[in-house]
Structure 1
């Protein structure tokens, strides 16, 4: 895949960090404001997609990106399942909020929501990696070519 013009490269170089930080913010504050893991993951994947579109990538390099994205996606899924199983490990219920049993949820307080921010992070990692892997797969495939 070919890169684009110098103007597109410079604009994407300026915009990508802002999009990434916005995605991280949406993931981190998903339990306080609208958003969360899915919306933040989409923004983060969009950041990486913008950079690949602007700068281009060879087929071999794209295959490496796809493999790494699939590995990170699996890590996000396993992290989410591990968080869900923490309650069973402690001898309580599946997906129980183990971190804030005595003080469950103070509106507006960042650290009062227990496992919800951890779940948002796991979902954000999984969604970002999955969408980026889907984009890379479409970018690699051309008419008649196989992975």
Structure 2
């Protein structure tokens, strides 16, 4: 597929919109359908699409495997950090009310950070799985 000019041009036009749509789903998640899991999946799908069109090596240059591993850990730490912050503020684990001066603002702030942690983790895990399966095919050829 590396030689197909139409696919390459369409991918270069479409991938930025996929990333923006993932951000929209992420930030719209506490007001309607969507959230971290869906946003992380869309973001990972954009990278997989890039890898299918431009090659696995090109995708790994854009999103290195080390970054994917950091994403998996960072997302879990963000999620857990919200819970620890609420504990340190005198509440229960993931008690969002204490995260701001007003309980409603605290709810929005807590949901935002938890969903962000989920999005980062899901994108990282999906990309790690994709990279592992893609490597498996390469190792079988050698």
TM-score higher than 0.5 here?
yes
- After TM superposition, the score normalised by the length of structure 2 is 0.84
Matched, 1:53 2:79: no
**What is the aligned partner in structure 1 of residue 41 from structure 2?**
42
**CA RMSD between the two structures:** 2.5
Q: How many residues of Structure 1 are paired with residues of Structure 2 in the alignment?
A: 138
Aligned to 2:90: 91
Question: What TM-score, normalized by structure 1, do the two folds share?
Answer: 0.82
Quote the offset at 1:114 in angstroms: 2.9
Structure 2 CA distance for aligned equivalents of residues 41 and 129 of structure 1: 8
Runs of at least 5 residues in structure 1 that lack an aligned partner in the other structure: 106-110
Give the Cα–Cα distance (whole angstroms) in 1 for the partners of residues 52 and 138 of structure 2.
19
Classify 1:128/1:4 alpha carbon distance in 2 versus 1 (closer, same or farther; 3 Å): farther
The answer for unaligned runs of 5 or more in structure 2 is none
Q: What is the CA–CA distance in structure 1 between the aligned matches of 2:138 and 2:54, rounded to whole Å?
A: 22
Which of the two has greater helix per residue? 2
